[in-house]
């Protein structure tokens, strides 16, 4: 096994033979080969995703059976064969009919907890609860909601499969389909606690369980309006939503003073398929369509983006193109660049270098973005 100058094991690209500490041994591909030979790279990556998902007990690929039933809960649009399961492990084809027990309006797979403000939310630096933006309509004080709490709802499913996932507890939840959240019970617990000023959906990712997200969000918003109470609804997601559901949830979030943050993981679709197993085209389409909501409210900013700076795979070219896309929509959209902590199947990669993170920030600002922040600084090397 080759080692780099810091003693870190070097991985080797299966296509060109390049060795580097920024090539994972689990994903034996360098960035140049992913870009230059995408078909061959995707063959290797598909094998990696197949083996990883099989190990954690989840369907190994997005089903696309021509005779299957179509599931439209997220943008993967699974076509599930008889007796089969969707990619999220919730939707099933039972005798030609799409069935679900969870991720429906009344029930979901997930858990929740209370998190004191200011939270570790990626968007806390620009949201009402963390910064006071939108005071007094949406925040308790001009400095934010210190002394109050966020209801953090972790949904145990995802429609991506990121090989560097930072929150892998959803794997077991999705595989075993537990613990279970009940709509009425969750709404009652959140509403009855006057210390809670916002609810954030994250995970995993909310997309596969969008009906539950919508139902709970709608109930909480209606009760908060009746009480004249600040209670924001926010989303942190990979963005792979069915627009039908995203539009409904976004309306509630906008009205409540909350926001939507998408993980813009890569710019290149091929790179996204390699790293996350899924196309990123629906994410970018959805992000662009959300501009209609973003333009309706100046503060706090409704639409937000972030990118995890995965060493060796997310370079300055990716950041430049993502930033250019965001800036074209609205240069005031906040953008967070996040330090990488080695995790899941890419746990042999190094930390993000501090110099690289701040170069990426300059690149994003050079594309016209007015609000760019480097986050997870404690993970920078």
User: Which residue numbers belong to the known binding site?
Assistant: 158, 162, 165
User: Whose CA is closest to 14, among 29, 34, 4?
Assistant: 29
The b/e string for 334-363 (b: 16+ C-beta within 10 A; e otherwise) is: bbbbbbbebbbbbebbebbbeebbeebbeb
227, containing H or E segment: helix 210-227
Q: How far is residue 203's CA from residue 133's CA, in Å, rounded to a whole number? A: 25
At residue 131, the 3 state secondary structure works out as helix
Distance CA(268)–CA(283), nearest Å, equals: 12
CA quadruple 241, 244, 249, 252: dihedral positive or negative?
A: positive
- Give me the phi and psi of 70, to 5 degrees please: -90, 135
> What is the spatial distance between Cα 257 and Cα 124, in angstroms, rounded to a whole number?
13
DSSP letter, residue 350? P
Positions at the binding site for [4Fe-4S] cluster: 158, 162, 165
């Amino acid at each position: 096994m080759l080692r780099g100058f810091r003693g870190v094991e070097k991985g080797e690209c299966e296509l060109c033979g390049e060795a580097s500490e920024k090539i994972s041994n689990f994903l034996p591909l360098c960035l140049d080969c992913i870009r230059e030979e995408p078909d061959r790279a995707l063959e290797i990556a598909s094998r990696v995703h197949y083996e990883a998902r099989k190990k954690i007990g989840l369907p190994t690929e997005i089903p696309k059976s021509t005779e299957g039933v179509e599931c439209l809960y997220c943008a993967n649009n699974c076509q599930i064969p008889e007796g089969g399961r969707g990619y999220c492990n919730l939707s099933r084809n039972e005798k030609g009919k799409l069935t679900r027990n969870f991720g429906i309006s009344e029930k979901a797979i997930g858990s929740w907890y209370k998190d004191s403000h200011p939270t570790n939310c990626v968007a806390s630096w620009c949201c009402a609860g963390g910064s006071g933006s939108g005071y007094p309509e949406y925040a308790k004080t001009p400095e934010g909601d210190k002394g109050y709490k966020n209801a953090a709802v972790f949904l145990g499913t995802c429609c991506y499969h990121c090989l560097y996932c930072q929150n892998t507890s959803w794997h077991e939840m999705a595989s075993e389909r537990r613990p279970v959240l009940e709509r009425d019970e969750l709404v009652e617990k959140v509403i009855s606690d006057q210390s809670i000023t916002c609810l954030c959906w994250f995970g995993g990712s909310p997309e596969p369980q969008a009906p539950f997200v919508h139902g709970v969000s709608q109930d909480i918003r209606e009760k908060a309006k009746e009480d004249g109470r600040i209670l924001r609804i926010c989303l942190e997601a990979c963005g792979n939503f069915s627009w039908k559901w995203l539009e409904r949830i976004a309306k509630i979030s906008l009205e409540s003073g909350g926001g939507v943050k998408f993980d813009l993981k890569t710019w290149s679709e091929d790179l996204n398929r390699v790293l996350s197993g899924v196309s990123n085209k629906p994410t970018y389409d959805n992000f662009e369509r959300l501009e209609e909501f973003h333009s309706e409210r100046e503060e706090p900013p409704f639409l937000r983006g972030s990118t995890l700076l995965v060493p060796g795979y997310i370079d300055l070219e990716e950041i430049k193109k993502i930033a250019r896309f965001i800036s074209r929509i609205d240069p005031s959209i906040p953008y967070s660049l996040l330090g990488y902590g080695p995790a899941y199947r890419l746990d042999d990669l190094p930390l993000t270098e501090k110099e690289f993170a701040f170069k990426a920030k300059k690149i994003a600002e050079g594309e016209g973005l007015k609000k760019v922040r480097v986050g997870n600084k404690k993970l920078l090397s």
